[in-house]
Amino acid sequence: MQIAYLDCASGISGDMTLGALVDAGVPLEKLNEAVGSLGLPGCRLVAREVTKLGFRAVQVTVQRPHEHVHRHLEQILAMIEAGQLTARQKDLARQIFTRLGQAEAKVHGTTPERVHFHEVGAADSIADVVGTAVGWDLLGAQRLVASPVPTGWGRIRIAHGEVSVPAPATAELLRGVPLAASTVQAELTTPTGAAILATLADAFGPPPAMTIERIGCGAGERDLAEQPNLLRLLVGQSAAAAVDATHDQVWVLETNLDDTSGEIVGHCVSELWNAGALDVYTTAIQMKKNRPGVTITVLCHAADAGPLEAVLFRETTTLGVRRWSAARRVLARQAHRVETPWGPVEGKLRWLDGAAARFAPEFESCRQLAAEHGLALCDVYEAAQRAFAPGGLPEGGG
């Protein structure tokens, strides 16, 4: 299984992440194609080699005309939806910006829909987030582990005045993320970087057992006197066999409702998915006084439990949410594309105990092909399954 490790010794920002991805081999032109489809006139990414205290790295900057625009979350999500991105790339970009919106809403006492972004709503931050989502998808790693992240310390000036480091939104985004001590008097981790980290990282700690194949170093804009301002990305194969299942810890959130309409429940489920839930489902139940009701169950990573719990309280009439941790066994998986007579279909491969890989087509990819060609959805599913050729996969699952 391909795995990646983010060494955040000098924190993380959007431009540092882009630089590390490009240096690790993600084509800059592919990122610019995605950014160019967002409707941001004159906005493009430029990469160049720099040195930070004697260490080589790639610095990615966003070239754009000056603008005085404060965008709302809804506007940014609409730009992402209209862009020429794959379904997975759109989903990753939406997740990152939704996290940013939730954090900003929490610190300013409002709702994500009413938040208008200042710094992170500018064209360069949008390009950073979308470029990162596309770059991570193109990198092809199935798992990301990150080091504890330093925030720096001191005070900085933002659109709302002078604040302490970490900035309020950054601190909110780093709930559940282990922090590393730092004596550097600067903002090392930005809100955009924190949102990227909280969205993409599956675990935090030391480098996992892996065979390194590629290394990418992304440079931050600032020159630090104490240390090189770099984000290092290690990419390679997990030392464990690709067919092995991995184990992790998830949180389960659950609430019972007997006075909420189906429309509200459906909307809440959509909001939970948008907020980064791993899984959401409902169960019909019988409650006190023989009233029919529904249980909403949410699975999530520890860092997402607070924001998802807030969605349940905000969108339903519940007065309480149960939560507990659960051990989870996850099969090795990998994104995979097959070619059908009507076009490509995205899906996932999975392995267990050395058996041959199994391919599961993605619903949305099949639905789009079926709609475009006037086909039955089941016909597209069957064609995608027939198109899968496990004999063409690299040994061990690729």
Q: What percent of the chain shows pLDDT beyond 70?
A: 91
Asked if residue 267 and residue 203 are part of one domain, the reply reads no
Asked if residue 280 and residue 234 are part of one domain, the reply reads no
Mark out the alpha helices in 279-387 (DSSP H runs): 305-315, 363-373, 377-387
With a cut of 80, say whether residue 391 has pLDDT above it.
no
Which domain-ending residue is among 238, 255, 286? 238
pLDDT-based confidence at residue 108 (cuts at 50, 70, 90): confident
Residue 299 domain boundaries: 246-330
The answer to whether the predicted template modeling score (pTM) of the entire model surpasses 0.85 is: no
Residues 168-189 pLDDT 10s: 889 999 988 899 999 999 999 9
Q: Return the SS3 of 37.
A: coil
Asked if residue 278 and residue 175 are part of one domain, the reply reads no
Asked if residue 62 and residue 101 are part of one domain, the reply reads yes
CATH number at residue 314: 3.30.70.1380
Mean pLDDT estimate for the chain: 88
Asked if residue 341 and residue 326 are part of one domain, the reply reads no
Which domain-ending residue is among 238, 258, 283? 238
- Tell me which of 71 and 17 has the higher pLDDT: 17
pLDDT-based confidence at residue 74 (cuts at 50, 70, 90): confident
- Cα distance between residue 357 and residue 340, in whole Å: 19
- Cα distance between residue 256 and residue 253, in whole Å: 11
What secondary structure does DSSP assign to 179-231, as a single string?
Answer: EE-----S--S-HHHHHHHHHH-SEESSPPSEEEEEEEEEE-SSPPSSS--EE
Asked if residue 252 and residue 209 are part of one domain, the reply reads no
Asked if residue 343 and residue 312 are part of one domain, the reply reads no
pLDDT computed for residue 79 by the predictor:
92
Asked if residue 259 and residue 350 are part of one domain, the reply reads no
- Cα distance between residue 191 and residue 203, in whole Å: 19
pLDDT computed for residue 58 by the predictor:
97
40-49, 98-107, 153-162 — which one is most confidently predicted on average? 40-49
pLDDT computed for residue 65 by the predictor:
82
Q: With contact defined as beta carbons under 8 Å apart, do 208 and 238 qualify? A: yes
Mean pLDDT to the nearest integer, 182-203 = 92
pLDDT computed for residue 245 by the predictor:
56
Q: How many domains does the chain have?
A: 3
With a cut of 80, say whether residue 355 has pLDDT above it.
no
Mark out the alpha helices in the chain (DSSP H runs): 14-23, 28-36, 73-82, 87-108, 123-139, 168-173, 191-200, 262-274, 305-315, 363-373, 377-387
- Cα distance between residue 290 and residue 52, in whole Å: 68
With a cut of 60, say whether residue 395 has pLDDT above it.
no
Asked if residue 222 and residue 137 are part of one domain, the reply reads yes
Which domain-ending residue is among 197, 214, 238? 238
